[in-house]
Amino acid sequence: MVQEIGACKRCRLWKVRNKTVPGEGSARAKYMVIGQGPGAEEDKTGRPFIGRSGNLLTGFLKKAGLEREEVFITSAVKCFPTPPPNRKPKNDELAACFPYLESQIGLVGPEKIILVGEIAFNLFFPKKRLKDFRGTWLNNEKYPGKEFFATYHPAAALRFPGIWKKVIDRDFLEIGKRV
């Protein structure tokens, strides 16, 4: 799958990417984290969540009693959404990458999927709003036997550390109750 994602030309992002970011972690992870998409650091290295948001995510995972290496971490899109830099992925880009994400879920077989941010949340719960379900476990009938947890993206804690870092901390403590 890594090679297939690396050769992907399903949307315009292949023209501007440096590296694809398929994801990393345990191939049999009980937990999967899905974010929005790679940032500039991830585009340079091909690794997910390694910038400032990634450092926060690693800390949040530790609060839940999880080590980064035992979780599979990926994103809704596998290329840095640009231009302009760091924009939200467009619907056609999300649609182009979604089959890869579904394949990853099938291959890894996580029991629990942590959705960080509105983009990741809306892929699985399109008619719901993250703010109404944040901090809760959800089921999706399309994915029997899997539980989804909704929380804000770690980037929110970077932008507004006084408020959102505490909220996300609490969310990961809630996740830790099921580890």
Q: Could you tell me which residues are beta bridge partners of residue 73?
A: 24, 33
Going by pLDDT thresholds of 50, 70 and 90, the confidence category of residue 86 is confident
Which sequence spans correspond to the domains of the chain? Answer: 2-176
Dump strand ranges (E) for 10-169.
31-35, 71-75, 112-116, 137-139, 147-151
Got the DSSP string for 143-176? STT-EEEEE--HHHHHH-TTTHHHHHHHHHHHHH
* pTM of structure: 0.96
Render pLDDT for 125-167 as a digit per residue (tens, 0 to 9). 999 999 999 999 999 999 999 999 999 999 999 998 888 999 9
User: What mean pLDDT, rounded, does the chain reach?
Assistant: 95
CATH number, domain 2-176: 3.40.470.10
Residue 114 C-alpha from the chain's centroid: 7
Q: Give dist(CA 93, CA 69) in Å, integer.
A: 28
